[in-house]
């Protein structure tokens, strides 16, 4: 047998999706594979196999999956509280299978995470990854997820190319499907950020938070927007403390 | 009795035939070790995964064009190795 290091990254990623799926099944965990090779062909502006495995997990099953993965050699690299302005994902690493981003919800789907997952799960399809059937969101859900991700990902050329493919190149009925799902899942503000129509939500804390992603170097601005968008005073106080720590950490790395 | 081989249903695998050398990679789920098969080993894996029914070592040797006796012995040994790794299952 040859050394595992010899295989291309795209092969390793597809195998890693299958491994994570098998572990989820053995632990009785529902999850959906997103991004990378899980995305339906033609929905990305340029094909990408990704550099990590991204999955959305049924919220009630998150702890179970974390336990299953860590008992099989994964270690937590970044807990949920260090992932992003949304605290949405934990990153785990395995010596063979590299990184898994375990999403407990998807940023921009503002509806209750339990209900959001239920809706995505009900609409799920299957994609064969490494000869194994893996559940993935349906095409409409994938388009919505790619648009919301694009809204958080500044593009050097202005509009993110995935927005072209998953909105501007669609027919009106196709756009209506994406918009309807977005409305059902509370994704109107994130969708507006992706489409460049955030002004329609001007003055809301959520709009300010999404607007802050257009300048990723403005860490202070992102934290301010994040604190303002927090739903409760308690959450704002907690975020304020973490903001101070994070910004000090950032300064110490310079 | 002659052993018949089939790919274990609990195996995930991928094949890269884009480059000059064929590369196959496989793992027994959920937590087996990643195995990488190159060249003739990869070619045998491709044939094994495309087989519609269990096959003997001689049938596999025919499929990959292993005509010389030492080549056929090597094919048989390789199938036994894959079986020991759990990538194939053998039945009589």
Do A144 and A181 meet the contact criterion of CB atoms below 8 Å apart? Answer: yes
**Amino acid B15: pLDDT:** 96
Interface test with B, best of A14, A17, A22 (most B CBs within 10 A): A22
Comparing A217 with B22, the larger pLDDT belongs to B22
Residues from chain B contacting residue A1 (CB–CB below 8 Å): 35-37, 41
ipTM: 0.94
Question: Which pTM was predicted?
Answer: 0.89
**Amino acid B23: pLDDT:** 94
Q: Within 13 Å, how many C-alpha atoms sit on residue B17's CB side?
A: 6
Do A18 and A37 meet the contact criterion of CB atoms below 8 Å apart? Answer: no
CB contact A29 to B (< 8 Å): no
**If DSSP codes are grouped into helix, strand and coil, which group holds residue A243?**
helix
Percent of residues, chain A, with pLDDT higher than 90: 60
Long-range contacts from B35-39, C-beta under 8 angstroms, 24+ separation: B35/A1, B35/A4, B35/B85, B35/B87, B36/A1, B36/A2, B36/A3, B36/A4, B36/A6, B36/A7, B37/A1, B37/A2, B38/A2, B38/A6
CB contact A60 to B (< 8 Å): no
| pLDDT tens digits, one per residue of A215-239 | 666 777 777 777 777 777 777 777 7
**Amino acid A223: pLDDT:** 74
| pLDDT tens digits, one per residue of A86-124 | 778 899 999 999 899 999 999 899 889 999 999 999 999
The residue of chain B with its CA nearest to that of A73 is B31
Residue B47's contacts (CB-CB under 8 Å, 6 or more residues apart) are B60, B63, B64
**Amino acid A88: pLDDT:** 86
The residue of chain A with its CA nearest to that of B22 is A7
| pLDDT tens digits, one per residue of B37-77 | 999 999 999 999 999 999 999 999 999 999 899 999 999 99
**Amino acid A2: pLDDT:** 66
Q: Cβ contact (<8 Å) for B16 and A11? A: yes
Residues from chain B contacting residue A19 (CB–CB below 8 Å): 12, 27, 29-31
Segments of chain A with pLDDT less than 50:
254
Residue-by-residue DSSP string for A123-170: T-EEEEETTEEEEE--HHHHHHHHHHHHHTS-BTTBS-HHHIIIIITS
């Amino acid at each position: 047998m040859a050394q595992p290091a010899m295989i291309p990254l795209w092969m390793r990623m597809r195998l890693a999706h299958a491994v994570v799926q098998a572990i989820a099944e053995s632990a009785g965990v529902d999850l959906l594979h997103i991004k990378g090779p899980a995305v339906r062909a033609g929905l990305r502006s340029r094909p990408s196999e990704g550099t990590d495995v991204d999955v959305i997990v049924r919220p009630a099953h998150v702890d179970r999956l974390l336990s299953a993965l860590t008992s099989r050699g994964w270690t937590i690299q970044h807990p949920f509280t260090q992932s992003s302005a949304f605290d949405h994902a934990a990153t785990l690493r395995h010596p063979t299978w590299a990184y898994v981003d375990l999403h407990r919800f998807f940023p921009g789907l503002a509806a209750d995470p339990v209900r959001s997952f239920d809706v995505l799960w009900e609409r799920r399809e299957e994609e064969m990854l490494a000869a194994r059937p893996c559940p993935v969101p349906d095409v409409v859900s994938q388009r919505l997820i790619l648009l919301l991700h694009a809204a958080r990902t500044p593009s050097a050329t202005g509009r993110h190319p995935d927005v072209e493919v998953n909105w501007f190149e669609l027919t009106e009925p196709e756009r209506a499907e994406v918009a309807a799902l977005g409305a059902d899942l509370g994704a109107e503000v994130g969708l507006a950020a992706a489409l460049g129509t955030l002004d329609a939500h001007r003055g809301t804390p959520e709009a300010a938070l999404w607007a802050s992603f257009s300048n990723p170097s403005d860490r202070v601005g992102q934290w301010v927007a994040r604190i303002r968008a927090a739903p409760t005073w308690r959450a704002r106080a907690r975020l304020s403390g973490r903001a101070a720590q994070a910004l000090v950490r950032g300064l110490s790395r310079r | 009795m002659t052993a018949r081989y089939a790919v274990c249903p609990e195996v995930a695998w991928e094949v890269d035939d884009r480059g000059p050398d064929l590369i196959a990679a496989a793992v027994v789920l959920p937590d087996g070790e990643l195995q990488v098969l190159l060249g003739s080993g990869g070619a045998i894996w491709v044939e094994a995964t495309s087989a519609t029914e269990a096959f003997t070592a001689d049938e596999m040797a025919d499929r990959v064009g292993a005509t010389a006796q030492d080549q056929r012995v090597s094919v048989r040994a390789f199938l036994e190795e894959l079986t020991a790794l759990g990538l194939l299952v053998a039945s009589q």
